[in-house]
Structure 1
Amino acid sequence: MVEPTSARALRQRTVLDYVLKAGSASSAELAEVVNCSIMTIHRDLDELSTRGLVRKFHGGVSALPTSIFESSSAFRMGRSSEAKEKLAREAIKFIEPGMSVMLDDSTTVLALARLLSDFGPITIISNFRPAIEVLADCPDVRLIILGGTYSRTHDSFIGIPNMTGIENYAVDAVFLSTSTMHDGMTYHQEHDVVLMKRAMLRAGTRKFLLLDESKIGRTSLNRFVPASDFTDVVLTDETPDEVISQLREVTTVHVAR
């Protein structure tokens, strides 16, 4: 008997919601949550993993990031939401009507996109599908979408910079975040994402890095750029004083309160 697509989709949605909330779970635990067989749950986890929403390990799955793997945008949207909103409120102080702005595919910068929905006239360039959806119906926003291959993990369009059109733009300000920062260097797990972010950085006259304290003091697989490559760094007020002092030696630091 063929299982209805709607039933499978509902079960997988329940499984995904559980993993996103818990961070990780075993196959047996998930089979119990949705009341299905281990064989069925393994098929579901295979599909969710293929879609880039979870990462499989022996006996279960995880949505948590590591130094090698970035978590999905769905997982990241549920993390540090208060800190992201705080960073966005500080960042918007540097945006004025009539400006051109580029936004990356981080959930941190998505919080800023939400504040820009009734802020205009303004030109916004982005590769992040959720940001595009937030801004698509805003009459005072001229929205430019960067191309590339769609990444389900990041919910964005990523590609070789000279193939996406990104290098054709010069904007007043670019707003980025990244996975980790340690000792004045920023990092990200994925090389393709690093290339995209570097191209975005080159497009901006003023270059903003938005980071909450949970990303500081750790590294990831790929070096992105030194913090000194940003004209401005926006941090949350929970960031250690020594980190703020270190960054102030190489860039302008704004503390979001």
Structure 2
Amino acid sequence: MSSRQRVNSGVARRQAMAEHVMRQGTMSMAELAEAFGVSVMTVHRDLDELERQGMVRKFRGGATALASNVFESNIAYRLTAHLPEKEAIARHVVRLIEPGSSVMLDDSTTALAVARHIGEVAPLTVVTNFLEAIKLLACTPGVRLMALGGEYHATHDSFLGVACVDAVEAMSTDLVVVSTSAISGRYAFHQEQEIVLVKRAMMGAAARRVLAVDHTKLERVALHRVAPLDDFDVIVVDSRTPEEAVRRLREHHHTVEVASM
């Protein structure tokens, strides 16, 4: 096994371990060692790294999950969660973008997946507050990149706050791609107020609004309402979304498109 494979294996194990702790609430080191087939010392090191990333809280003999809003907002978690679904959604969303238009992307990893494909419909002007997307798009031919400033938040790897909202409100784009952490009934939700304020500003700055969410976000509620579903022109979900969930979503929004995986 190469050193790179060992690193990737460790990253995947820690990701799965964090998700396991979140589902169970609290796990002992012995339980985690048995569940993942590794030594207690390996679990100890993995939990040190997960605690450093803000994904779990370690205590003597085990670990406990942080509040789900902290865990799910963490960029380290989001960059590796539900990748096939996000990839399928991104391929679908890119087909909704017209060459020569202007597009705003929020700081979601679903929008980052869109950014990876956006060169396929260049030339474009792209506006974003997500540092990972900025670094990616800076090297994408045919993309005129406009970066939104503000206060940098390492947990999200993005720029937020009043300065970011002001910068968004000074823009007018043809389309915006937004993702949220939860959808329930007639509303989209997110757990963090500062992110909600930027997403709302982005929606107000775009002529057409696309909500891109994988199936794990449906029929959940977070602390803050982002917007009614009717405020979006198109909602894109992945094909692992249960038919009943798609049907209920269409009861509240006529244009729901399912991205094939």
Counterpart amino acid of 2:99?
P
Structure 1 residues 162 and 109: alpha-carbon distance in aligned structure 2, compared to 1, 3 A threshold = closer
Distance 1:86 1:14 in 2: 24
What percent identity do the matched residue pairs reach?
39
- Residue aligned with 1:84, SS: helix
**Structure 1 partner of 2:257:** 254
Structure 1 residues 43 and 79: alpha-carbon distance in aligned structure 2, compared to 1, 3 A threshold = closer
**Structure 2 partner of 1:19:** 14
Distance 2:132 2:248 in 1: 34
Distance 2:207 2:175 in 1: 6
- Residue aligned with 2:126, SS: strand
1:109-140 deviations in whole A, cap 9, x for unaligned? 11110001354111000011111111111231
**2:134 aligned residue (116, 132, 135):** 132
Counterpart amino acid of 2:137?
L
**Structure 2 partner of 1:235:** 237
How far apart are 1:225 and its partner, in Å? Answer: 0.9
How far apart are 1:247 and its partner, in Å? Answer: 3.7
Q: How does 1:129-168 map to 2 (within 5 A)?
A: 129-160=131-162, 164-168=166-170
* Mapped contact 1:24–1:61 kept (Cα < 8 A): no
**Structure 2 partner of 1:220:** 222
Distance 1:204 1:227 in 2: 16
* Mapped contact 1:136–1:143 kept (Cα < 8 A): yes
How far apart are 1:255 and its partner, in Å? Answer: 1.5
Alignment RMSD (CA, Å)? 3.1
Counterpart amino acid of 2:57?
K
Distance 1:131 1:71 in 2: 17
Q: What are structure 1's unaligned runs of at least 5 residues? A: 1-12
* Mapped contact 1:179–1:215 kept (Cα < 8 A): yes
Q: With structure 2 as the length reference, what TM-score do the two structures score?
A: 0.78
Compare 120-129 and 160-169 and name the one that shifted more: 160-169
Instruction: Please tell me whether residue 197 in structure 1 is matched to residue 199 in structure 2.
Output: yes
Distance 1:245 1:42 in 2: 41
* Mapped contact 2:148–2:164 kept (Cα < 8 A): no
Q: How does 1:170-185 map to 2 (within 5 A)?
A: 170-185=172-187
- Residue aligned with 1:79, SS: coil
* Mapped contact 2:48–2:58 kept (Cα < 8 A): no
Q: How does 1:67-78 map to 2 (within 5 A)?
A: 70-78=72-80
Instruction: Please tell me whether residue 122 in structure 1 is matched to residue 129 in structure 2.
Output: no
1:48-102 deviations in whole A, cap 9, x for unaligned? 15xx4x2426542548x72565331221121111111111111111112210000
Structure 1 residues 90 and 118: alpha-carbon distance in aligned structure 2, compared to 1, 3 A threshold = closer
How far apart are 1:27 and its partner, in Å? Answer: 7.9
Structure 1 residues 172 and 166: alpha-carbon distance in aligned structure 2, compared to 1, 3 A threshold = same
Counterpart amino acid of 2:194?
D
Distance 1:45 1:102 in 2: 32
Q: How many residues align?
A: 240
Distance 1:43 1:81 in 2: 25
* Mapped contact 1:161–1:196 kept (Cα < 8 A): no
Q: What are structure 2's unaligned runs of at least 5 residues? A: 1-7, 22-26
How far apart are 1:243 and its partner, in Å? Answer: 3.6
1:133-186 deviations in whole A, cap 9, x for unaligned? 111112311101111111111111111266541100010000010101011211
- Residue aligned with 1:94, SS: coil
**Structure 2 partner of 1:56:** 57
Counterpart amino acid of 2:258?
V
**Bigger helix share:** 2
How far apart are 1:254 and its partner, in Å? Answer: 1.4
Distance 1:45 1:162 in 2: 29
* Mapped contact 1:24–1:60 kept (Cα < 8 A): no
Structure 1 residues 15 and 150: alpha-carbon distance in aligned structure 2, compared to 1, 3 A threshold = farther
